[in-house]
Amino acid sequence: MSKKFNQKYPLIWEKNNFYIKIYCSIPNIATGIIVTTDNATFIVDPGDGILRDLNKDYNAKEILAISDIFISHGHHDHVGGVWSLLTYLSVMKKKTPLNIYYPKGCLEIESIYKAFHSVYANELKYKITLKPIKNSRAFLKKEVKIKPFKVNHREPADDGFSSIEVPSLGFKFEHNSSSICYGGDTAYCDNLVKMAAGSDLAIIEAGAETNEESDLHLTIEQASEIGKTANEYFLVHVPE
Protein backbone atom coordinates (compact mmCIF):
# COMPACT_ATOMS: atom_id res chain seq x y z
CA MET A 1 0.00 0.00 0.00
CA SER A 2 1.45 3.36 -0.85
CA LYS A 3 1.84 5.83 1.96
CA LYS A 4 0.52 9.36 1.61
CA PHE A 5 2.79 12.11 2.72
CA ASN A 6 1.25 15.53 2.95
CA GLN A 7 3.73 18.20 2.13
CA LYS A 8 2.59 21.78 2.22
CA TYR A 9 4.35 24.04 -0.23
CA PRO A 10 6.12 26.38 -0.17
CA LEU A 11 8.84 25.02 2.11
CA ILE A 12 11.10 27.69 3.55
CA TRP A 13 14.37 27.47 5.44
CA GLU A 14 16.87 30.12 6.48
CA LYS A 15 20.09 30.25 8.44
CA ASN A 16 22.78 32.95 8.63
CA ASN A 17 21.31 34.94 5.73
CA PHE A 18 21.19 31.82 3.61
CA TYR A 19 17.64 31.35 2.41
CA ILE A 20 15.84 28.74 0.35
CA LYS A 21 12.23 28.53 -0.72
CA ILE A 22 10.86 25.48 -2.46
CA TYR A 23 7.75 26.69 -4.21
CA CYS A 24 6.79 23.30 -5.45
CA SER A 25 8.14 19.81 -6.03
CA ILE A 26 5.61 17.37 -7.42
CA PRO A 27 6.71 14.51 -9.67
CA ASN A 28 5.70 14.89 -13.29
CA ILE A 29 4.17 18.32 -12.54
CA ALA A 30 6.82 20.86 -11.46
CA THR A 31 9.66 21.81 -9.19
CA GLY A 32 10.73 25.40 -8.50
CA ILE A 33 13.34 26.60 -6.01
CA ILE A 34 15.01 29.91 -5.17
CA VAL A 35 18.21 30.23 -3.13
CA THR A 36 19.29 33.67 -1.93
CA THR A 37 21.88 35.36 0.26
CA ASP A 38 22.43 39.08 0.81
CA ASN A 39 23.92 39.32 -2.65
CA ALA A 40 23.11 36.12 -4.53
CA THR A 41 19.93 35.07 -6.30
CA PHE A 42 19.95 31.56 -7.74
CA ILE A 43 17.18 29.48 -9.23
CA VAL A 44 17.27 25.71 -8.95
CA ASP A 45 15.16 23.51 -11.24
CA PRO A 46 12.79 26.09 -12.75
CA GLY A 47 9.77 23.96 -13.56
CA ASP A 48 6.47 25.21 -14.90
CA GLY A 49 4.99 28.00 -12.77
CA ILE A 50 8.31 29.50 -11.69
CA LEU A 51 7.46 32.98 -13.04
CA ARG A 52 4.08 33.03 -11.33
CA ASP A 53 5.72 31.98 -8.05
CA LEU A 54 8.65 34.41 -8.24
CA ASN A 55 6.35 37.29 -9.08
CA LYS A 56 4.37 36.73 -5.91
CA ASP A 57 7.47 37.40 -3.78
CA TYR A 58 9.79 39.58 -5.82
CA ASN A 59 9.60 42.64 -7.99
CA ALA A 60 11.03 42.72 -11.50
CA LYS A 61 14.29 44.30 -10.35
CA GLU A 62 14.85 41.51 -7.87
CA ILE A 63 14.08 38.85 -10.47
CA LEU A 64 16.53 40.50 -12.88
CA ALA A 65 19.23 39.87 -10.28
CA ILE A 66 19.11 36.12 -10.95
CA SER A 67 22.68 35.31 -11.95
CA ASP A 68 22.77 31.54 -12.02
CA ILE A 69 20.37 28.71 -12.74
CA PHE A 70 21.14 25.19 -11.55
CA ILE A 71 19.48 22.25 -13.29
CA SER A 72 19.55 18.82 -11.68
CA HIS A 73 18.41 17.01 -14.84
CA GLY A 74 16.33 17.53 -17.96
CA HIS A 75 12.97 16.05 -17.02
CA HIS A 76 10.14 18.44 -17.82
CA ASP A 77 9.09 18.87 -14.19
CA HIS A 78 12.55 20.41 -13.54
CA VAL A 79 13.10 22.49 -16.70
CA GLY A 80 9.58 23.36 -17.88
CA GLY A 81 9.95 27.01 -16.85
CA VAL A 82 13.34 27.69 -18.44
CA TRP A 83 11.98 29.09 -21.72
CA SER A 84 9.57 31.48 -20.03
CA LEU A 85 12.17 32.56 -17.45
CA LEU A 86 14.75 33.36 -20.15
CA THR A 87 12.13 35.22 -22.18
CA TYR A 88 10.85 37.16 -19.17
CA LEU A 89 14.38 38.29 -18.32
CA SER A 90 14.78 39.49 -21.90
CA VAL A 91 11.44 41.32 -21.99
CA MET A 92 12.30 42.97 -18.66
CA LYS A 93 15.62 44.06 -20.20
CA LYS A 94 18.06 42.13 -18.09
CA LYS A 95 21.60 43.27 -18.82
CA THR A 96 23.71 41.26 -16.41
CA PRO A 97 25.00 37.83 -17.42
CA LEU A 98 23.23 34.57 -16.65
CA ASN A 99 24.84 31.16 -16.29
CA ILE A 100 22.97 27.90 -16.62
CA TYR A 101 24.65 24.93 -14.91
CA TYR A 102 23.44 21.49 -15.87
CA PRO A 103 24.72 17.92 -16.11
CA LYS A 104 26.80 17.35 -19.22
CA GLY A 105 24.73 15.46 -21.76
CA CYS A 106 21.43 17.06 -20.75
CA LEU A 107 19.89 17.46 -24.21
CA GLU A 108 16.82 19.28 -22.97
CA ILE A 109 18.71 22.35 -21.73
CA GLU A 110 20.91 22.56 -24.80
CA SER A 111 17.86 22.24 -27.06
CA ILE A 112 15.83 24.84 -25.15
CA TYR A 113 18.77 27.25 -25.26
CA LYS A 114 19.40 26.65 -28.96
CA ALA A 115 15.76 27.27 -29.86
CA PHE A 116 15.60 30.30 -27.56
CA HIS A 117 18.73 31.75 -29.08
CA SER A 118 17.49 31.27 -32.64
CA VAL A 119 14.31 33.21 -31.84
CA TYR A 120 15.66 35.99 -29.59
CA ALA A 121 19.38 36.45 -30.36
CA ASN A 122 18.82 39.82 -32.04
CA GLU A 123 16.97 41.44 -29.19
CA LEU A 124 18.79 39.79 -26.30
CA LYS A 125 20.61 42.29 -24.06
CA TYR A 126 22.06 39.84 -21.56
CA LYS A 127 24.60 37.12 -22.05
CA ILE A 128 23.58 33.53 -21.38
CA THR A 129 26.35 31.03 -20.83
CA LEU A 130 25.71 27.32 -20.77
CA LYS A 131 27.86 25.57 -18.18
CA PRO A 132 27.74 21.82 -18.60
CA ILE A 133 29.06 20.16 -15.46
CA LYS A 134 31.44 17.31 -16.15
CA ASN A 135 32.83 16.54 -12.70
CA SER A 136 32.30 17.14 -9.00
CA ARG A 137 34.70 20.04 -8.65
CA ALA A 138 33.36 22.72 -6.31
CA PHE A 139 33.19 26.34 -7.47
CA LEU A 140 32.35 29.69 -5.97
CA LYS A 141 29.56 32.03 -7.14
CA LYS A 142 28.71 35.22 -5.25
CA GLU A 143 30.24 33.90 -2.03
CA VAL A 144 28.31 30.65 -2.27
CA LYS A 145 30.31 27.45 -2.68
CA ILE A 146 28.61 25.00 -5.01
CA LYS A 147 29.57 21.37 -5.01
CA PRO A 148 27.82 19.35 -7.73
CA PHE A 149 27.62 15.60 -7.32
CA LYS A 150 26.45 12.81 -9.57
CA VAL A 151 23.25 11.06 -8.53
CA ASN A 152 21.50 7.98 -9.82
CA HIS A 153 18.37 8.86 -11.78
CA ARG A 154 16.81 6.89 -14.60
CA GLU A 155 13.71 6.94 -16.77
CA PRO A 156 11.58 4.07 -18.05
CA ALA A 157 12.66 2.75 -21.46
CA ASP A 158 10.24 2.25 -24.35
CA ASP A 159 10.21 -1.50 -23.83
CA GLY A 160 8.17 -0.96 -20.68
CA PHE A 161 10.38 -2.84 -18.23
CA SER A 162 13.97 -1.61 -18.42
CA SER A 163 15.26 1.89 -17.67
CA ILE A 164 17.80 4.34 -19.10
CA GLU A 165 20.27 6.49 -17.17
CA VAL A 166 19.54 10.22 -17.18
CA PRO A 167 22.43 12.72 -16.76
CA SER A 168 21.62 13.99 -13.29
CA LEU A 169 23.19 15.94 -10.45
CA GLY A 170 22.60 17.01 -6.90
CA PHE A 171 24.07 20.25 -5.56
CA LYS A 172 25.47 21.17 -2.18
CA PHE A 173 25.41 24.91 -1.51
CA GLU A 174 27.48 26.45 1.30
CA HIS A 175 27.40 30.01 2.58
CA ASN A 176 28.34 31.62 5.92
CA SER A 177 29.23 28.14 7.25
CA SER A 178 25.71 26.87 6.54
CA SER A 179 25.01 24.17 3.99
CA ILE A 180 22.07 23.03 1.93
CA CYS A 181 22.14 19.71 0.11
CA TYR A 182 19.67 19.26 -2.76
CA GLY A 183 19.68 15.78 -4.24
CA GLY A 184 17.52 16.38 -7.32
CA ASP A 185 15.82 13.19 -8.51
CA THR A 186 17.62 9.98 -7.65
CA ALA A 187 17.31 6.39 -6.65
CA TYR A 188 19.42 5.25 -3.70
CA CYS A 189 22.86 6.73 -4.20
CA ASP A 190 26.04 6.70 -2.10
CA ASN A 191 26.99 10.20 -3.25
CA LEU A 192 23.76 11.60 -1.88
CA VAL A 193 24.21 9.71 1.38
CA LYS A 194 27.66 11.24 1.72
CA MET A 195 26.67 14.79 0.78
CA ALA A 196 23.50 14.93 2.88
CA ALA A 197 25.24 13.79 6.07
CA GLY A 198 25.95 16.73 8.37
CA SER A 199 24.31 19.33 6.09
CA ASP A 200 22.29 21.98 7.84
CA LEU A 201 19.44 21.23 5.47
CA ALA A 202 18.96 18.23 3.20
CA ILE A 203 16.27 18.25 0.52
CA ILE A 204 15.60 14.68 -0.42
CA GLU A 205 13.25 13.38 -3.06
CA ALA A 206 10.83 10.59 -2.16
CA GLY A 207 9.36 10.03 -5.59
CA ALA A 208 8.92 6.25 -5.59
CA GLU A 209 5.33 5.31 -6.36
CA THR A 210 5.31 2.46 -3.85
CA ASN A 211 7.37 1.37 -0.86
CA GLU A 212 9.29 -0.98 -3.14
CA GLU A 213 12.82 0.16 -3.91
CA SER A 214 12.98 1.45 -7.46
CA ASP A 215 15.82 2.40 -9.77
CA LEU A 216 14.11 5.72 -10.57
CA HIS A 217 13.34 7.30 -7.19
CA LEU A 218 13.74 6.93 -3.42
CA THR A 219 11.04 5.52 -1.18
CA ILE A 220 9.83 7.62 1.73
CA GLU A 221 11.69 5.28 4.05
CA GLN A 222 14.99 5.57 2.17
CA ALA A 223 14.62 9.34 1.82
CA SER A 224 13.83 9.81 5.52
CA GLU A 225 16.81 7.72 6.52
CA ILE A 226 19.12 9.90 4.43
CA GLY A 227 17.38 13.08 5.58
CA LYS A 228 17.88 12.23 9.23
CA THR A 229 21.65 12.37 8.83
CA ALA A 230 21.35 16.13 8.21
CA ASN A 231 20.47 18.66 10.92
CA GLU A 232 17.11 19.27 9.26
CA TYR A 233 15.49 17.86 6.16
CA PHE A 234 12.61 18.22 3.76
CA LEU A 235 11.16 15.34 1.81
CA VAL A 236 10.13 16.58 -1.61
CA HIS A 237 8.92 15.23 -4.95
CA VAL A 238 6.44 12.97 -3.16
CA PRO A 239 3.67 11.65 -5.43
CA GLU A 240 0.33 13.29 -4.63
Binding site for Zn ion (CB under 5 A): 75, 77, 185
What is the rounded CA–CA span in Å between residue 31 and residue 81? Answer: 9
Closer residue to Zn ion (CB): 53 or 77: 77
Closer residue to Zn ion (CB): 33 or 40: 33
What is the rounded CA–CA span in Å between residue 28 and residue 237? Answer: 9
Closer residue to Zn ion (CB): 108 or 185: 185
Q: How far is the CB of 144 from Zn ion (least distance, A)?
A: 24
Q: Are 141 and 39 in contact (CB under 8 A)?
A: no
Closer residue to Zn ion (CB): 77 or 174: 77
Q: How far is the CB of 134 from Zn ion (least distance, A)?
A: 20
Closer residue to Zn ion (CB): 94 or 217: 217
Q: How far is the CB of 116 from Zn ion (least distance, A)?
A: 22
Q: Are 181 and 213 in contact (CB under 8 A)?
A: no
Closer residue to Zn ion (CB): 162 or 176: 162
Q: How far is the CB of 237 from Zn ion (least distance, A)?
A: 6
Q: How would you classify residue 53: left for phi > 0, otherwise alpha for psi between -120 and 50, otherwise beta?
A: alpha
Q: How far is the CB of 211 from Zn ion (least distance, A)?
A: 19
Q: How far is the CB of 183 from Zn ion (least distance, A)?
A: 11
Note the helical H segments in 16-130: 50-57, 60-64, 76-79, 82-91, 107-120
Reported in sequence order, the residue ranges of 84-177 that DSSP labels E, i.e. its strands, are 98-103, 128-133, 139-141, 144-150, 153-156, 163-166, 169-175
What is the rounded CA–CA span in Å between residue 121 and residue 82? Answer: 16
Its sign, for the CA torsion 226, 144, 73, 90, is: positive
